[in-house]
């Protein structure tokens, strides 16, 4: 099943110039609908007004003692008629009688469903009705939310979400915007939850388990962020012979309640040929690390771990592997490399998680509530300097005081030290943390052409007062020129944060990165 939740962008200013083409397209669609309705009326007129001959016995054209008509057509024929109509015409045709209305939500008619909603509590009854009717069988569901009251922070169409700054200071304005935005976000999440809850009983879960039970040569099983599609009992559908030949296993769902896990250490013992594994960090226990070091298991080469604040809140970190477990796992698998994504994790929890012996190659921090500290970045640069190749630092915390500065109260910027110590660093992406222009130039010079990707958003870059005071040098032009020279290739800051998929879709980025990370063995 494919599920799309999207918020369309507002109409661009130049859209009015295309009004003529839009009118032509609407006229053509209306003409097509009229032609379909005429064909339908002609078919019904023929069925109702078909002449009877004397040779026919009374009742030959009768069903259940009544004359044949639209209400007495077989359901299969009604569904066939509906299949030629658009969604809106099906709704109109279903109003003719109760029998037609019963045929409206036949599964074959709605393999794909597109719903357009406003972010408003009044939309919930309509959404619940559609989900109750179609949620259990639809195969592709696209839910789009109108932009006018979502992107503007919940303001009405007249004010565009703006606040009159003359009635208060900047902090009052930010608080009012934040409150309105949170109200809209709460309504949006309730509507999304209504969709997700309705598709829980969709047959895709049954089909998924049937695929597992009927597989004979399954090598790669990757299931990520599929709400309650993969359950703690899903792996029981796999036969022992298939589990023994599996080379990649990815089971990720941070919505599993309580202490439930998608896989246990006992189940992991079956996967003796596993070379790549991706799990929630709280599910990767010390006992699992011990299982992977057994002699009957092939060396594990890739391990991707998602550390999510939801999992950390409901599950304990007490069962995670300690440093001795990581040492044993590294001795067993000399080519083992680890990828970690930490989503809104507190610094004290990260200090527990980042054991010195983890062969950490890639790490991704993403924050909406909790920012990463300079001490954590410094710890990573010292402990994983021999392995680290990818470092992603993202922050979308609402803070009117500006972006956090990791170099505060420090002699050296932690990001510069990271570039200096981690000689294998090839990707560095930063948003939502202050990066000083002279430090960015230093990073480019330290890593040079080995740093293949350097992505920093324009709003994250700041300049010293001395750089801004120099009237002879354009600081922005100088930054672009110096960084480009240091990297040995043209460089520019990221202007539009929405184009940075790492920021806008962290879960999808992790899943995509995990796949490329696991395929590279």
In a domain, 422, yes or no: yes
pLDDT cut 90: percent of the chain above it: 32
pLDDT at 210 (0 to 100):
80
Report helix, strand or coil for 4.
strand
Q: Are residues 200 and 244 in the same domain?
A: no
Average pLDDT over residues 179-193: 77
Number of domains in the chain: 2
- Work out the average pLDDT over 418-444: 94
* 249 and 362 co-located in one domain: yes
Sheet containing 140-145, strands listed edge to edge, beginning at the edge strand earlier in sequence? 2-6, 140-145, 112-117
| Burial (0-12, 13-18, 19+ Cβ within 10 Å), 43 | middle
Name, of 4-18, 152-166, 176-190, 424-438, the range with top average pLDDT: 424-438
Kindly indicate the confidence band of residue 203, based on its pLDDT and cuts at 50, 70 and 90: low
Pick the range with the lowest mean pLDDT from 127-131, 181-185, 424-428, 483-487. 181-185
The rounded Cα 81 to chain-centroid distance in angstroms is 38
Q: Please tell me which residue, 416 or 68, carries the higher pLDDT value.
A: 416
**Looking at the structure, do residues 349 and 483 belong to the same domain, yes or no?**
yes
- Whether 22 is covered by a domain: the verdict is no
Structural domain of residue 400, as residue ranges?
Answer: 219-519
User: Based on the domain organization, do 136 and 231 belong to the same domain?
Assistant: no
**Residue 219 pLDDT greater than 50, yes or no:** yes
Mean pLDDT of 379-384: 96
- For residues 225 and 136, state if they share a domain: no
Beta bridge partners of 494: 457
Token readout for 244 is 């023994």
Q: Which of 214, 245, 268 is the last residue of a domain?
A: 214
Q: Is residue 266 part of a domain?
A: yes
Mean pLDDT of 442-449: 95
Most confident listed range (241-245, 407-411, 486-490)? 486-490
pLDDT at 16: 36
Please tell me which residue, 151 or 479, carries the higher pLDDT value: 479
The domain that holds 423 is classified in CATH as 3.80.10.10
Residue 424 and residue 463 in one domain: yes
My answer on whether 190 and 339 are in the same domain is: no
Q: Does residue 478 sit within a domain?
A: yes
Torsion of CA 179, 180, 185, 188, to 10 degrees: 150
Buried b (16+ CB within 10 A) or exposed e, 45-77: eebeeeeeeeeeeeeeeeeeeeeeebeebeeee
Q: Is the domain of 268 the same as that of 142?
A: no
Mean pLDDT of the chain: 77
Q: What is the pLDDT of residues 254-306, one digit of tens each?
A: 555 556 788 889 999 999 999 999 999 989 999 999 999 999 999 999 999 99
């Amino acid at each position: 099943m494919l599920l799309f939740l999207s918020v369309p962008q507002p109409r661009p200013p130049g859209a009015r110039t295309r009004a003529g083409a839009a009118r032509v397209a609407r006229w053509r669609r209306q003409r097509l609908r009229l032609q379909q309705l005429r064909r339908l009326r002609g078919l019904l007129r023929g069925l109702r007004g078909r002449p009877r001959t004397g040779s026919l016995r009374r009742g030959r054209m009768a069903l259940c003692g009544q004359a044949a008509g639209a209400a007495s057509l077989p359901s299969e024929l009604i569904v066939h008629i509906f299949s030629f109509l658009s969604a809106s015409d099906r709704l109109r045709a279903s109003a003719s009688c109760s029998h037609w209305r019963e045929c409206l939500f036949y599964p074959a008619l709605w393999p794909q469903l597109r719903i357009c909603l406003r972010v408003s509590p009044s939309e919930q009854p309509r959404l619940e009705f559609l989900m109750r009717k179609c949620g259990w069988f639809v195969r592709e569901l696209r839910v789009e939310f109108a932009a006018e009251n979502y992107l503007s922070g919940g303001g009405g169409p007249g004010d565009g979400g703006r606040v009159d700054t003359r009635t208060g200071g900047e902090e009052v304005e930010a608080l009012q915007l934040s409150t309105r935005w949170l109200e809209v976000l709460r309504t949006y999440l309730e509507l999304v939850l209504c969709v997700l809850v309705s598709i829980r009983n969709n047959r895709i879960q049954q089909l998924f388990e049937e695929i597992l039970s009927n597989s004979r040569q399954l090598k790669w099983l990757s299931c990520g962020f599929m709400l309650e599609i993969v359950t703690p009992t899903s792996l029981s559908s796999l036969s022992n012979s298939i589990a023994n030949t599996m080379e990649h296993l990815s089971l990720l769902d941070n919505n599993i309640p309580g202490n439930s896990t998608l896989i246990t250490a006992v189940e992991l013992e079956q996967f003796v040929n596993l070379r790549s594994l991706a799990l929630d960090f709280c599910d990767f226990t010390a006992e699992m690390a011990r299982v992977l070091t057994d002699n009957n298991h092939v060396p594990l080469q890739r391990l991707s771990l998602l550390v999510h604040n939801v999992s950390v809140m409901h599950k304990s970190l007490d069962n995670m592997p300690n440093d001795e477990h990581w040492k044993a796992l590294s001795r067993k698998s000399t080519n083992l490399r680890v990828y970690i994504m930490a989503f809104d994790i507190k610094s004290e929890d990260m200090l527990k998680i980042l054991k010195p012996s983890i062969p950490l190659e890639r790490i991704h921090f993403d924050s909406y509530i909790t920012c990463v500290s300079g001490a954590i970045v410094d710890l990573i640069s010292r402990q994983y300097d021999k392995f680290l190749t990818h470092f992603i630092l993202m922050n979308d915390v609402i803070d009117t005081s500006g972006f956090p500065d990791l170099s505060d109260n420090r002699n050296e910027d932690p990001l510069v030290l990271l570039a200096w110590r981690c000689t294998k660093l090839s990707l560095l992406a930063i948003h939502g943390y202050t990066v000083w222009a002279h430090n960015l130039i230093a990073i480019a010079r330290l890593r040079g052409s080995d740093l293949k990707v350097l992505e920093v958003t324009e709003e994250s870059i700041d300049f010293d007062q001395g750089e801004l005071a120099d009237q002879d040098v354009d600081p922005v032009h100088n930054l672009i020129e110096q960084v480009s020279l240091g990297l040995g290739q043209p460089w520019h800051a990221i202007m539009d944060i929405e184009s940075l998929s790492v920021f806008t879709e962290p879960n999808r980025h992790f899943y995509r990165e995990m796949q490329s990370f696991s395929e590279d063995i």
